[in-house]
Amino acid sequence: LANIQRRPTHVGLMGQAAVAGHVVLYALMVIVPGVRLLAAAGGTRGLSYFGVQIFPPQTAEVAWMQAPAEWHGELGWILALVVLGHIFMAVVWHRLMQRDDVLSTMAGR
């Protein structure tokens, strides 16, 4: 997001794939921890972080808050694969095939 103003233009099929990939990447970066936080809010253990109580423990688990957490692991693996695909595309497509400066821009140079 820090480089949103310096993003390259996305044209054609590869451009559409890049936009879709970035949308999936950012969505999963919010959804994966979100489903776990939701489960913690409705769980019997609660959640404390560095000694600060974020969610108090519930007396009984809230079923609708626990249900999305069943997908937390799978979504985490999907996020890992999308991140690896992002790195692969940055190196192979931008660095080796296009020989453009996108990789340097992503690195903050």
pLDDT tens-digit profile of 11-58?
788 888 888 888 999 999 999 999 999 988 888 888 888 989 888 888
Torsion 13-19-21-24 (CA) sign: negative
Helix axes 72-89, 12-41, angle to 10 degrees: 150
More confident: 27 or 95? 27
In this predicted structure, what is the pLDDT of residue 86?
86
In this predicted structure, what is the pLDDT of residue 103?
67
With 80 as the cut, is the pLDDT of residue 75 above it? Answer: yes
More confident: 31 or 3? 31
Residue 1 within a domain: no
Measured distance CA(54)–CA(36) in Å, rounded:
13
Q: Please report, in angstroms and rounded to a whole number, the separation of the first and last CA atoms in the chain.
A: 15
Using alpha carbons only, how large is the chain's radius of gyration in Å? 19
**93 and 8 in contact (C-beta within 8 Å)?**
no
The pLDDT of 58-76, averaged and rounded, is 89
More confident: 100 or 6? 100
If one counts the domains in the chain, the total is: 1
Q: What is the pTM of this model?
A: 0.74
Domain range for 28? 12-106
Residue 39 within a domain: yes
Measured distance CA(90)–CA(82) in Å, rounded:
12
Residue 59 within a domain: yes
Share of the chain above pLDDT 70, in %: 84
Q: What residues contact residue 24 under an 8 Å CB cut-off, 6+ apart? A: 82
Residue 101 within a domain: yes
